[in-house]
Structure 1
Amino acid sequence: MKRLLPLLLAALAQAPAQAQAPKWPDITQQHKPWTRWWWQGSAVNRQDLSRLLTEYQQAGLGGVEITTIYGVKGAEKEFINFLSPQWLDMLTHTFTEAGRLGLGVDMAQASGWPFGGPWVKPEDACKYLAYRTYAVKGGEVLTEPVGYTQKPMMRAVGLPMDVKTMQQPVARNPDLQLHAFDQVRFEVPLPLQTLMAYSDQGQTLDLTGKVGPDGKLSWTAPAGAGWTLYAIFQGWHGKQVERAGPGGEGDVIDHFSRGATDNYLRYFDEAFKGRDIKPLRAFFNDSYEVDDAQGEGNWTPQLFQEFQRRRGYDLRQHLPALLGKAADDENQRVLSDYRETISELLLENYTRTWHAWAQKHDALIRNQAHGSPANILDLYAATDIPETEGEDLLRLKFASSAAHVTGKPLTSAETATWENDHFLSSLGDVKKAVDRMLLGGVNHVFYHGTNYSPQRAAWPGWLFYAAVHFNPNNSFWPDFGQLNRYAARCQSFLQAGQPAHDVLLYLPIYDSYAQRAKLPATAEPDRAKLLLQHYDGITHGFKGLPVGETGETLLKRGYGFDFISDLQLLGVKNAGRGLQTSAGTSYQTVLVPAARLMPLPTLQQLLKLAKGGATVVFQGQLPQDVPGLGALDTRRAAFKKLIGQLKLSAGPGGGQQAAVGKGRVLVGADVDGLLTAAGVQRETLVDQGLEFVRRRHAKGHYYFVTNWGDKPLMGWVPLRTAAKSVAQYNPMTEKLGLAATRPGAAGQPEVYLQLAPGEACILETNEAAISGPAYAYQRPAGAPQPLQGSWSVQFLTGGPELPAKVDTRELASWTTFGEAARKFSGTARYTTTFAAPGGAADGWLLDLGRVGESARVQLNGQDLGTLIGPSYQVFIPREQLKASNTLTVQVSNGMANRIIDMDKRGVEWKRFYNVNVAAKLKENRDEKGLFTAAKWEPRPSGLLGPVTLTPTSTRVEKVQ
């Protein structure tokens, strides 16, 4: 809690002053974007660590997350084993230098992912359930031994190896970097966990104790019935740590075992002895990803005991149902109970155990819970900084919802992992990715990622297999700081205040728990491989359930909402007619999206909230039944009694309603109508193609608003909040001022907005009138005027060599300037002179037209701004123009053109173990399956134009 408390206090303190003119918050380390810092092979040295950290700080990054991964070929003598004394020396040096530079440091708690390593013993490694059935007639004995020999298998990203010659465990084998094992299973007999006999007359017998060491069963089947025997075995899953660096290769842990987690973390305790790790802010887990291997890690040795304790009955009595071979209803109920048990074990024995351990080291945890076979809302809630990835808003909202509901000040995100294939993403593309994160409730961006690369490494340096390379070797690096300043300004508001959403969207996890994966019709599969359900947004785990469509409707219609789990819902209390979570976050209603199954305590809580004055909304239908098998009759009777007490009558929008105490229950198909009836107002700005996220501060709201449509917005936009003044901030240009407003519906304001495609703004509403300068809107006062004349093009930095200077009157891609320019990645300076345009405009809008890919603009030696796209416009005040003016535009392209040339000439730059280098698109793969740009044509680069000046008015009265 020592580390979390400052975050909470900072979030409350960072709101800009409300009684004074608008101003930007002071930017802190936490506001700035951070980056994942790949240490390949941990082949790092003090000099380069210091140099690189300085460059990161100068580019506007706020911190780094150290993740050690696979090494670089040729650098083997420099490899440092993960957590070795030498490695910890490098970590200590990083702490010192980061502290000097004002940078934060997090650390991945594995070399690669998931948690695992050479110190993980077989008893602590991930496991799977294997089973075999036997048929025995009454009066007969089983003649074959009860046994299961695991089939050998070996998957390696690198050089394959004959599993029969390998040592056990995998970490004992030499040349692990060369092989890069992904999964290995040895041919070994598996230990029997239980042997249960089921008769065709409903009898069940436990025969486990009657199986001898040789597998012989000493049992004669009772006469009069046929018997089916189910033998459950414990398999060794064999999943290895992915992308592991030296000293980090080995088995992945059993995430369901408290002992396995404790033993794993104890290794870190031993490594840290005598070391000061207090500068470390947080430990990090990069995804679950156990089950992206063959088969599922779906077993833990204590499962039968834990199941009995938690679900109230013996799973061994229902093994056919677990494996999908009983009646459908029993199959679904037992499977649901199994999945709920797995979810709880992952929450308690891994996530909470890890969190408690980190607290002892005065550190936080950042956790990517997605992909886990558990209710990830609860996993995220047990995390100090929930982290997500991807750009689907519903996926992002799982992490941010848990943060909002449980009062976590930060939601982080792995950002811009695969925007495009390698070397094709511009800073403008990354800005769009950042905006998606912010719209999804993320307020702590982590780029994915930045490679440590020594100064001696030839260009392009050391690279990771993911496709956006945020490192100083990238030719967009000189303009990278502009993106970072933009993100920091946005996050300075979005880390302040509290979330301001109205709707709690219930996550119908039990409907998902009860769904078994569809089995192939052609063959009987190993049903034990289909036990888990993995959750990663709506598309993984909830596909086909109404909640996905409901979430999309809420986004499209402009309703602010957060997902909530059953466990979190139990902590919600009444606050007048509204609701308040256990962390104090306020909402107006709960929406249940056509859930069929619902636990009795959840239904009781919903009706309790309604009785206390809340409106609870059920989309489509009331829940129909309880999940699970234990004490089913008792729970079902209580459930049906509660449902029966609801006296439904005709309600709004063709639906139904029932009074419950001081509140009510609404049921119907029309979500819009139901929420309107519940008093929830949507933000109609979405009808104009805008997207938003909203937070609450002491005297109003913050809105982050984006226009990612293909047309500019110029007009009045309604806000669904009471306000007497609205301040507007442009996080890209730092322009600010009081926005033009006018009265709208229900005493709520309309604000005048101008947003180009891809542009965003921050609105700060205030219930009181405040004074300050007006926001300077820009309206065309005439037609665009082409900027004609000669351009001088001077190549400044980059390679492989600097092309010769060019003078031209026609702007075109610099790749047309000759062979040296075709292969050039770097920066060129464009210079022209022009006379001041005539007329009485307040200024002129300079539009560069097309740019490949980012530009720094100067007029008469004064900076006008850095433009990263997608639009390339900057305003020139009238007073900055002279009779004769010099316009300078420094344009930087991406890395692609230089890489194209290298690949066409066969120059080797891919020198990495493990993944070397993956392509996102299959058309960009060579005969070895590796990335290649040899088939590409040079990307358009430089100032492409046309460049125009448009006379512009900035007078406020023009918008009235």
Structure 2
Amino acid sequence: MKRLLAPLFLATLGLTAQAQAPKWPAITQQTKPWTRWWWEGSAVNKADLTTVLTEYQKANLGGLEITTIYGVKGAESQFIDFLSPKWMDMLSHTLTEAGRLGLGIDMAQASGWPFGGPWVAPADASKYVTYKTYEVKGGASLSEPVSFMQKPIATAIGHKVDIKQLADPVAKNKNMQTLALEQVRFEKPLPLQALMAYSDKGETLDLTSKVGADGKLAWTAPAGALWTLYALFQGGHGKQVERAGPGGEGDVIDHFSKTATDHYLAYFDQAFKGHDVKPIRAFFNDSYEVDDAQGEANWTPQMFAEFQKRRGYDLRQHLPALFNKASEDENQRVLTDYRQTISELLLENYTQSWGAWAKTHDALIRNQAHGSPANILDLYAATDIPETEGEDLTRIKFASSAAHVTGKPLTSAETATWENDHFLSKLSDVKKAIDRMLLGGVNHVFYHGTAYSPPSAKWPGWLFYAAVEFNPQNPFWTDFGKLNQYTARAQSFLQAGQPSNDVLLYLPISDAYTRPGKVLLQHFDGIEHGFKGLPIEATSELLLSKGYGYDFISDKQVQAVKNTGNTLTTSGGAVYQTLLVPDAHLMPLPTLESLLKLAQNGATILLQNQLPADVPGLGNLENRRSNFRKLLAQLKFKAASQAGVQQASLGKGRVLLGNDVPQLLAQAGVRRETLADQGLQFTRRSHAQGHYYFLANWAEKPFAGWITLQTPAKAAAFYNPMTEQTGMARIRATANGLPEIYVQLNPGETCILDTNEGERTGPAYPYLTVAAAPQPLTGPWDLNFISGGPELPAKLQTKELTSWTTLAGDAGRKFSGTATYSTTFPLPQGSADGFLLDLGRVAQSARVQVNGQPATTLLGPVYQVYVPKYQLKASNTLTVTVSNLMANRIEDLDRNHVDWKIFYNTNMPAKLKENRGADGLFTTENWKPLESGLLGPVTLTPAFTGAPAQ
């Protein structure tokens, strides 16, 4: 009842378009959502490819990303080796058919992930470094050989494997799909990389050349000192390609080696010969994910040379510090330099080399940089389409920030991965995941994902192990097109214009690099992984919660910022009001130089809590430190007008220092969007006449009220991407000249405000005001099951709306599919403009028809539609078509021990512990049937449309 009494922003039946009404941007292939397309075992054929591609196109998808993975048991005769001539033939057919249907195609650059395969030679495979120490007294010699025998490792998905039964190298094994190997290291002596001797007097000697082939050291320690010897050895990390399909199994590449990257990509060049692959829009990398095996890939054969070139000193002189055995300061500085070197190698030798290769095929790269042992802002920035995943907004913003700062038009997102456990995710859950991405700056959604499943496959078809299943066999597919249309409408705005954030938030990666850990490298995945506990964690969350628009920026990106006056412009042309340094202790000298130069030219730079205290790293330390201190000495702070804020004038600009971030921002003239205080979330983009605001209400209650925008506007058009209603919003000016706009949003509802700094006229948006109490529709209801299985329950009539698992007996309990509910009702009483039809509870999505005319498709969490009075008659027919989830039918299969888990490699693990059976895999045997159907109560409420009072 409470929900109904608030003014609402609702779907409307039968409104005719008016000539002056705001018009939606065109929906294009790019504005539609795309999906990851799993080719299991690459067991595809041309006829079925055409069939399923047509299904995807009808569901309003814009494109697909082909990712080949492990196969399906029983389909072995259909397996096709990755990149084989037959596989390329299937790819060519797909590209042709996708082009005919208007679908885009991306392609993963591996079968599974990360980059790797059987063509990766041991020299190009991922490496690790290990070490041993020896002590030798002065005048003595080392009696034992300098050697290291690698311990064997053999792990696999879902079973134990005997390494004695494996061939070396791994690619020689014949039954790789069955083996499903994760990591393999054979017992073997490792090659020596360096042998360094350090005396207790501070002397260092390179003994590498004095070690014979038998490991014997031909050296007598100089007298008068105790010598500690560090022997470094290079090992093969042994990481195998995850989820690989036939012909794609093998070692993962050394991501820090350009040679390894080039060799890897050359294999694709060879496979592509004779085929037109130019229709491929982008090649894709599914995150780093090398170091989720035992140990870590932390070495490359050229490390010593690369380190010397980049850091200006010989790492071999500081091996004790690398392994945390020197003074704390030296340990931190050498470790920072090592991590910085790894970051640069990953950027240049992998990401940039891959991007340059893609351009030789007129293609882009789409890259998930998160999880990498590097500054992921720089990796994202080197990517044509940065891609993120996850649920945390600050994590999502890493990818969109790099896109904004460097002028990339698209930020993509792997969306709805493991949104819930198998078969439990509703379309409303997926919509919430999409909204979260859009709020984080994403404007190019990729579902995770759609498994190619031949039409002949027995239900539930071919599935992927990480829910959600965006496949035609899922009952929600009947209404999936509506969700895709919604996403396309929202993205049509969010792909337009330019990013409009006010604050650049400096990422203090040097403070993260300096922190020791259990292993040499750190892996950065948003704030949670890599920056947890640093001040930037709280600062970024504060900015988000308080309604400040911001983007993260790296040292490398700071050094490319320019300004004329107080406006900061990044390399990609994005404009910001200020840059905030969140309580950083360490800062590279070039970054400080850039910040102070910006201030000299008129910018306002904000320092939270403290001045940076020192430079990171060891190379050329005293010179860098001296210059750093000279720069800081220019800053003469005095109390500013704002309490607790100090100001140092510098040239045409200033540097502000203080503990309170909102005070700092206020002093810099940055306004926050106060609508955040009202429970609304937003993202904002600018255009030539004003701004686009994407607003979301994911609170539990409806929102109806005035919001103040912090950008100038004299007019605003409302667009509802779910209902497709448009109209001019009610707007008024505040005392300080800012616009106030009246907004109505149900829980889970979003809208786009298109503001204009000039005058703009058009039909008013039809706000809704409830005029009287709701009137129940009491039925009776005719219930007719129209599609699904395992069998269609019999037709029935019911007075009471309850779950069809109760109404339809045993057949209803195990039914997954779609049913229609029909009833008649007289013209409701009341003098209102129309009536709010509320379906109450629905499990899970519903299409509504009134008098045979489609009204809308409702995905939840609120199921309401406005019906104009002129659409009703003395007697009316209401038809509600409801689709449930896959869960009840799967539960029936599990209860009857029908084996539907027929996949190699990872055969349907569970996300939640309670859904794991004795074998550790997903099961529904302990489930009870989920409520399904129209649950009500269904009501009609008299309502008026029109602008609210001032």
Bin of the TM-score, shorter chain as denominator length: over 0.9
- Matching of residues 348-367 of structure 1 within 5 Å: 348-367=348-367
Partner residue of 1:11?
none
Partner residue of 1:549?
538
SS of 2:233's partner is strand
Alignment of 1:221 onto 2:221: yes
SS of 1:567's partner is helix
Q: Which of these residues, 717, 728, 733, is aligned with residue 727 of structure 1?
A: 717
Query: Structure 2, unaligned stretches of length 5 or more?
Result: 1-18
Would the aligned equivalents of 1:740 and 1:959 in 2 still touch at CA under 8 Å? no
Partner letter of residue 406 of structure 1? T
CA gap of 1:20–1:622, structure 2 versus 1, over 3 A, is: farther
Normalised by the length of structure 2, the TM-score is: 0.97
Partner letter of residue 873 of structure 1? Q
SS of 1:653's partner is coil
Q: Which of these residues, 916, 927, 934, is aligned with residue 943 of structure 1?
A: 934
Mapped partners of 1:755, 1:49: distance in 2: 41
Partner letter of residue 648 of structure 1? F
Would the aligned equivalents of 1:40 and 1:71 in 2 still touch at CA under 8 Å? yes
Of 809-818 and 737-746, deviating more is: 737-746
- Matching of residues 330-729 of structure 1 within 5 Å: 330-517=330-517, 530-651=519-640, 652-729=642-719
- Matching of residues 131-210 of structure 1 within 5 Å: 131-210=131-210
Would the aligned equivalents of 1:158 and 1:178 in 2 still touch at CA under 8 Å? no
SS of 2:366's partner is strand
Alignment of 1:915 onto 2:884: no
- Measured after TM superposition, the shift of residue 583 of structure 1 is 1.5
- Measured after TM superposition, the shift of residue 383 of structure 1 is 0.3
Mapped partners of 2:946, 2:259: distance in 1: 69
Alignment of 1:110 onto 2:110: yes
Structural RMSD (CA): 0.8
Would the aligned equivalents of 1:160 and 1:179 in 2 still touch at CA under 8 Å? no
Would the aligned equivalents of 2:764 and 2:946 in 1 still touch at CA under 8 Å? no
Mapped partners of 2:34, 2:169: distance in 1: 37
Alignment of 1:78 onto 2:78: yes
- Measured after TM superposition, the shift of residue 787 of structure 1 is 1.1
- Measured after TM superposition, the shift of residue 751 of structure 1 is 0.3
Mapped partners of 1:508, 1:449: distance in 2: 35
- Measured after TM superposition, the shift of residue 164 of structure 1 is 2.2
- Measured after TM superposition, the shift of residue 158 of structure 1 is 4.3
- Measured after TM superposition, the shift of residue 160 of structure 1 is 3.2
Would the aligned equivalents of 2:20 and 2:763 in 1 still touch at CA under 8 Å? no
SS of 2:825's partner is strand
Mapped partners of 1:794, 1:157: distance in 2: 44
Mapped partners of 2:767, 2:248: distance in 1: 56
Mapped partners of 2:255, 2:237: distance in 1: 12
- Measured after TM superposition, the shift of residue 785 of structure 1 is 1.2
Mapped partners of 1:781, 1:224: distance in 2: 98
Mapped partners of 1:114, 1:80: distance in 2: 20
Partner residue of 1:952?
943
Mapped partners of 1:592, 1:576: distance in 2: 19
Mapped partners of 1:415, 1:298: distance in 2: 30
Alignment of 1:781 onto 2:771: yes
- Measured after TM superposition, the shift of residue 650 of structure 1 is 1.1
SS of 2:541's partner is helix
Mapped partners of 1:369, 1:899: distance in 2: 36
Normalised by the length of structure 1, the TM-score is: 0.96
Larger RCO (CA under 8 A, 6+ residues apart):
2
Mapped partners of 1:25, 1:641: distance in 2: 53
Partner letter of residue 221 of structure 2? A
Of 330-339 and 21-30, deviating more is: 21-30
Mapped partners of 1:745, 1:468: distance in 2: 49
Mapped partners of 1:544, 1:264: distance in 2: 38
Partner residue of 2:66?
66
Q: Which of these residues, 801, 806, 811, is aligned with residue 791 of structure 2?
A: 801
Partner letter of residue 862 of structure 1? Q
- Matching of residues 89-108 of structure 1 within 5 Å: 89-108=89-108
Q: Cα deviation per residue 1:319-358 (whole Å; 9 max; x = unaligned)?
A: 0000000000000000000000000000000000000000
Q: Cα deviation per residue 1:493-540 (whole Å; 9 max; x = unaligned)?
A: 0000000000000000000000011x5xxxxxxxxxx10000000010
Q: Cα deviation per residue 1:866-925 (whole Å; 9 max; x = unaligned)?
A: 000010000000100100000000000000000011111101100000010011011101
- Measured after TM superposition, the shift of residue 418 of structure 1 is 0.8
- Measured after TM superposition, the shift of residue 451 of structure 1 is 0.5
SS of 2:304's partner is helix
Would the aligned equivalents of 1:156 and 1:183 in 2 still touch at CA under 8 Å? yes
> Structure 1 runs of 4+ off > 6 angstroms?
none
- Measured after TM superposition, the shift of residue 959 of structure 1 is 3.2
Identity of aligned residues (%): 71
Q: Cα deviation per residue 1:186-237 (whole Å; 9 max; x = unaligned)?
A: 0010000000000011000000000000000000001100000000000110
Of 584-593 and 745-754, deviating more is: 745-754
Aligned length: 930
Would the aligned equivalents of 2:21 and 2:726 in 1 still touch at CA under 8 Å? no
Mapped partners of 1:827, 1:653: distance in 2: 63
Would the aligned equivalents of 1:653 and 1:674 in 2 still touch at CA under 8 Å? no
Would the aligned equivalents of 1:792 and 1:830 in 2 still touch at CA under 8 Å? yes
- Measured after TM superposition, the shift of residue 174 of structure 1 is 1.5
Partner residue of 1:859?
850
- Measured after TM superposition, the shift of residue 653 of structure 1 is 3.0
Partner residue of 1:814?
804
Q: Cα deviation per residue 1:421-461 (whole Å; 9 max; x = unaligned)?
A: 00000000000000000000000000000000011110000
SS of 1:290's partner is coil
Mapped partners of 1:154, 1:959: distance in 2: 72
Q: Cα deviation per residue 1:811-853 (whole Å; 9 max; x = unaligned)?
A: 0011102010000000010000000011110110000000000
Q: Cα deviation per residue 1:760-808 (whole Å; 9 max; x = unaligned)?
A: 0000000111111100000110111111120110000000000011211
Partner residue of 1:243?
243
Partner residue of 1:272?
272
SS of 1:562's partner is strand
- Measured after TM superposition, the shift of residue 645 of structure 1 is 1.5
Q: Which of these residues, 892, 899, 911, is aligned with residue 901 of structure 1?
A: 892
Partner letter of residue 798 of structure 1? G
Partner letter of residue 668 of structure 2? A
- Measured after TM superposition, the shift of residue 108 of structure 1 is 0.2
Of 604-613 and 576-585, deviating more is: 576-585
